[in-house]
């Protein structure tokens, strides 16, 4: 009997913090649920893309990944607040990491893909955590 093979996770931090945020009672829980949904979809697509990159082949996931990442960034923007997101350093970090991922997919570079996802996961998770921190900070 073979042990169950776990699918690789490329967004463990983002999925975790989004799940925690979605379980909070604040008004933004619905937006956090959308971040979680998009993060889980992007994570699953990234795993399929990774397999295609390792196999040196094209796949639906390779074509879908940029859209999934864009949807996750949009959901994060909605959770963060569009006005704050536009001037946020988080937005820049997410966009830069997303470009690195897109370049790695286009070039078929699995090592760069994995490395870029570490930065992307950290950037999105940090943005979500910063929103949660702001919600917990009492008004002066």
44-47: Cβ within 8 A, 24+ apart: 44/7, 46/10, 46/11, 46/117, 47/7, 47/8, 47/9, 47/10
The answer to whether the CB of 65 falls within 8 A of the CB of 28 is no
* Per-residue pLDDT, 134: 55
**Which residue, chain included where needed, has tokens 């950037």?**
123
For 27-66, what is each residue's pLDDT tens digit?
678 899 999 999 999 999 999 999 999 999 999 999 999 9
* Closest C-alpha among 14, 3, 11, 20 to residue 136: 20
- The secondary element (H helix, E strand) that includes residue 15 is helix 12-22
* Closest C-alpha among 56, 20, 24, 50 to residue 117: 50
For 81-108, what is each residue's pLDDT tens digit?
888 888 889 999 999 999 999 999 999 9
């Amino acid at each position: 009997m073979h042990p169950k093979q776990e699918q690789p996770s490329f967004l463990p931090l983002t999925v975790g913090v989004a799940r925690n945020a979605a379980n909070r009672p604040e008004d933004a829980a619905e937006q956090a649920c959308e971040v979680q949904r998009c993060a889980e979809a992007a994570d699953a697509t990234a795993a399929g893309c990774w397999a295609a990159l390792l196999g040196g082949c094209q796949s639906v996931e390779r074509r879908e990944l940029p859209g999934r990442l864009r949807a996750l960034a949009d959901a994060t923007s909605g959770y963060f607040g569009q006005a704050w997101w536009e001037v946020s350093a988080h937005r820049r970090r997410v966009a830069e990491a997303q470009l690195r991922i897109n370049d790695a997919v286009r070039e078929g570079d699995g090592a760069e893909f994995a490395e870029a996802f570490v930065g992307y996961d950290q950037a999105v998770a940090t943005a979500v955590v910063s929103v949660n921190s702001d919600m917990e900070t009492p008004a002066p």
